[in-house]
Amino acid sequence: MLVGLFSSTSSPGIANLCLREVADDFGEAFDAETMETVRRNFCVYDLLRSAGTEDAAVRLVTQVCSLLKKGGCKLTKRLSKLHCSSEYPCSKKI
Q: What is the pLDDT of residues 16-37, one digit of tens each?
A: 888 899 999 998 999 999 999 9
CA distance 27 to 23: 5
> Taking 60 as the threshold, does the pLDDT of residue 70 lie above it?
yes
3-class DSSP state for residue 42?
Answer: strand
What's the confidence (pLDDT) of residue 5?
56
DSSP 83: P
> Taking 90 as the threshold, does the pLDDT of residue 54 lie above it?
no
Split at pLDDT 50, 70, 90, the class of 93 is very low
| DSSP β-ladder status, 46-47 and 42-43 | antiparallel
Rg (CA), the chain: 14
